[in-house]
């Protein structure tokens, strides 16, 4: 490429980071890193009515958690700052004045009531609602008179009324828009703040952004943006509009059908490497059947040419499966560090660090999310046993089960402590004396100790329970089922 690649992620601080925003940030990050370029974070806070206190800090924290480091941004600085749009208002005003002077923009004094009446008339005639250009034809004298009188106003872009605007998009190909159907976009609002459209174009140019990679919902706005580039005499960046994220029913991914924020997934115990890997595959694939990628591997393989046009379905079951895989890849120390807080938050006593470690190592292979760990480990925190599984109840009511359990209790009374080694010896003696072996011998023990047909490995259960709890649970089962 002739000049260094520069991409940007430009979220609005209106709440938590949406997983769609994470994917947009990721694609920008991957493209910049793949080409040895720069990845920029810019905060677009010009819509003050939607601004949420603390959202910028939360966005930054989420990006850092995901491992998406940026080269320039509000908290790290750079040569093209400020990187917060509300700190750049003078720059936008200056550029709006240039558009007014060149005749590419105009003052509009229409009131909200007039605009609403205009909209209703257009809808009643079956027309597309858009500004009808009432103030386009005001003379210089009429404009100045209204300005002198202090009449509230906005500044609008003067779109051409004829011809078409042709958009070349890396993902969408050639897209054509009829100019007569493109609105005269507001550029400066009545409060003096710019709209997304002006601030976005000005900042992308001044920050020398070479590639704009964003959601397809912005594709309809590109004709307005290209008109601004043309009016300023600037070369537009390369455009790439990535597909929407969809629910399984192919509706747009929304809070109504489940979690959508990165923070939601983080709180439920999804690992950053799992979430990043998962969203990378939403709309992109490497051309192989490979599904697991480190961030470095994604950097090496990513290309915009392999991003699909069609919407990408957000399959939570696949994310859970992928997260379970990544949990099982953690070292023992990492597992304990990651899962202990979830046990504690669920009410488990984690004061005995060594016991907590043993419990986590006994159950981690069975879970897919951090919040699943307490349910998987609950047997270790219960003082009595409740058997609800139908198959488990059937095992407990088999005639040979009571023989095994009673015989084991007799043998248990002959030892002072219980370890995995002498547990095996006791079970061997039970087998020899009763003639019961295989599943008929071991399944009753598992169910009597855990209440489940499958669960933590018996050696771990024995070691963590100790003699007293093993004895108590088996006696309870004998009393209830024998």
Question: Within a domain: residue 66?
Answer: yes
Cβ neighbours of residue 268 closer than 8 Å, sequence gap 6 or more: 259, 369, 370, 371
Please check the confidence at residue 199 and state whether its pLDDT lies above 60: yes
Tokens at 140, concatenated: 């210089």
Residue in 402, 412, 382, 387 with CA at minimum distance from that of residue 478? 402
Residue 79 inside a domain? The answer is no
Residue 17 has pLDDT above 80, yes or no: yes
> Where is the domain boundary, 284, 310, 329?
329
**Domain range holding 467?**
390-481
Per the structure block, which two tokens stand in for 31?
């493209």
Regarding whether 252 and 219 lie in a shared domain, the answer is no
Check whether residue 237 and residue 249 sit in a common domain.
Answer: no
In a domain, 355, yes or no: yes
- pLDDT band at residue 249, thresholds of 50, 70 and 90? confident
Selected residue with higher pLDDT from 8 and 250: 8
Give the pLDDT band of residue 1 (cuts 50, 70, 90). very low
pLDDT at 245 over 50: yes
Dihedral over Cα of 115, 120, 121, 123: its sign: positive
For residue 205, report the phi and psi dihedrals to the nearest 5 degrees.
-70, -50
Are residues 102 and 228 both part of a single domain?
Answer: yes
Residues 310 and 405 in one domain: no
Rounded CA separation 32/303 (Å): 10
- From the list 276, 265, 374, 274, the residue with the least C-alpha distance to 324 is 274
Q: What is the pLDDT of residue 3?
A: 83
Residue 334's pLDDT band (cuts 50, 70, 90):
very high
Report the number of distinct structural domains present in the chain. Answer: 4
The answer to whether residue 257 scores a pLDDT higher than 80 is no
Residue 325 lies in a domain: yes
Q: Per this entry, what is the length of the chain?
A: 482
- The residue among 1 and 20 whose pLDDT is bigger is 20
Domain match, 165 and 200 both: yes
In the DSSP assignment, the letter for residue 347 is T
Mean pLDDT of 380-392: 93
**Which tens digit of pLDDT belongs to each residue from 46-66?**
888 888 899 999 999 999 999
Tell me which of 149-158, 257-266, 382-391 is least confident. 257-266
Res 2 pLDDT > 90? no
Q: Which long-range contacts (CB under 8 A, 24 or more apart) does 248-251 make?
A: 248/313, 248/314, 248/315, 250/311, 250/313
How far is C-alpha 369 from the chain's CA centre?
Answer: 15
| Sign, Cα dihedral of 81, 85, 87, 91 | positive
Dmax (CA) for the chain in angstroms is 110
**CA 148 to each of CA 9, 138, 151, 186: distance values in angstroms, whole numbers, following the listed order:** 40, 15, 8, 21
Q: Which of 242, 269, 297 is the last residue of a domain?
A: 242
81 within some domain: no
Q: What residues act catalytically?
A: 255
Same domain, 222 and 90: yes
**Do 324 and 395 fall into the same domain?**
no
Average pLDDT for 323-343 = 98
Averaged over 66-78, what is the pLDDT? Answer: 97
Residue 255, pLDDT above cutoff 70: no
Q: Which residues contact 13 (CB under 8 A, 6 or more apart)?
A: 43, 45, 51, 52, 55, 56, 59
Looking at the fold, whether 322 and 290 belong to one and the same domain comes out as yes
Indicate which CATH number applies to the domain containing 434. Answer: 1.10.10.350
Euclidean distance between CA atoms 256 and 197, whole angstroms: 29
Residue 80 in domain: no
Question: Is residue 281's pLDDT more than 60?
Answer: yes
Burial of 19 (0-12, 13-18, 19+ CB in 10 A): buried
Q: The domain that contains 66 carries what CATH number?
A: 3.40.50.620
Q: Are residues 94 and 189 in the same domain?
A: yes
Residues 100 and 236 in one domain: yes
Q: In terms of domains, do 357 and 413 share one?
A: no
When pLDDT is averaged across residues 321-346 and rounded to a whole number, the result is 98
Instruction: Report if residue 427 sits inside a domain.
Output: yes
362, 382, 402 — which closes off a domain?
Answer: 382
CA–CA gap between residue 361 and residue 341 (Å, rounded):
15
Both tokens of 80, joined, read 């093209």
- Write down the mean pLDDT value for the chain: 95
Q: 175 with 217, same domain?
A: yes
Q: Tokens in use for 342?
A: 């979830």
Helix axes 332-345, 353-363, angle to 10 degrees: 100
pLDDT recorded at residue 47: 85
């Amino acid at each position: 490429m002739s000049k260094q690649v520069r991409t940007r992620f430009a979220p609005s601080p209106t709440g938590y980071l949406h997983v769609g925003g994470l994917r947009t940030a990721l694609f920008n990050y991957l493209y910049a890193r793949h080409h040895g370029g720069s990845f920029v974070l810019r905060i677009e806070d010009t819509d003050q009515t939607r601004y949420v206190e603390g959202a910028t800090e939360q966005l930054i924290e989420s990006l850092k958690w995901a491992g998406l480091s940026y080269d320039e941004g509000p908290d790290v600085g750079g040569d093209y700052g400020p990187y917060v749009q509300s700190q750049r208002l003078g720059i936008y005003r200056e550029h709006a004045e240039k558009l007014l002077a060149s005749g590419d923009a105009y003052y509009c004094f229409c009131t909200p009531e007039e605009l609403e009446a205009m909209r209703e008339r257009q809808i009643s005639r079956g027309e597309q609602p858009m500004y009808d250009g009432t103030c386009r034809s005001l003379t210089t004298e009429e404009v100045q008179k209204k300005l002198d009188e202090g009449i509230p106003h906005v500044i609008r872009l003067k779109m051409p009324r004829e011809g078409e605007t042709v958009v070349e998009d890396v993902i969408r190909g050639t897209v054509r828009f009829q100019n007569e159907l493109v609105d005269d976009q507001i550029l400066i609002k009545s409060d003096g703040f710019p709209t997304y459209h002006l601030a976005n174009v000005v900042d992308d140019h001044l920050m020398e952004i070479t590639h704009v990679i964003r959601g397809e919902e912005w594709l309809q706005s590109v004709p307005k943006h290209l008109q601004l580039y043309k009016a300023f005499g600037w070369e537009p960046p390369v455009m790439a509009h990535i597909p929407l994220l969809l629910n399984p029913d192919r509706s747009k991914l929304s809070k109504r059908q489940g979690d959508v924020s990165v923070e939601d997934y983080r709180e439920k115990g999804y690992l950053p490497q799992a979430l990043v890997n998962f969203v990378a595959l939403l709309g992109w694939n490497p051309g192989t059947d490979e599904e697991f990628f480190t961030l470095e591997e994604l950097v090496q393989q990513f290309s915009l040419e392999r991003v699909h046009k069609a919407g990408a379905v957000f399959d939570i079951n696949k994310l859970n499966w992928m997260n379970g895989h990544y949990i099982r890849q953690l070292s023992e120390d990492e597992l304990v560090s990651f899962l202990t807080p979830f046990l504690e938050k669920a009410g488990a006593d984690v004061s005995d660090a060594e016991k907590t470690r043993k419990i986590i190592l006994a159950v981690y292979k069975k879970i897919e999310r951090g919040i699943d760990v307490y349910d998987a480990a609950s047997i270790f925190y219960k003082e009595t046993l409740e058997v609800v599984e139908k198959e488990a109840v059937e095992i407990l009511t088999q005639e040979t089960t009571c023989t095994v359990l009673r015989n084991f209790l007799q043998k248990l009374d002959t030892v002072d402590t219980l370890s995995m080694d002498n547990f095996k010896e006791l079970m061997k003696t039970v087998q020899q004396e009763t003639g019961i072996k295989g599943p008929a011998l071991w399944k009753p023990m598992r169910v009597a100790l855990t209440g489940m047909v499958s669960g933590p490995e018996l050696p771990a259960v024995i070691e963590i329970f100790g003699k007293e709890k093993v004895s108590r649970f088996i006696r309870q089962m004998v009393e209830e089922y024998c």
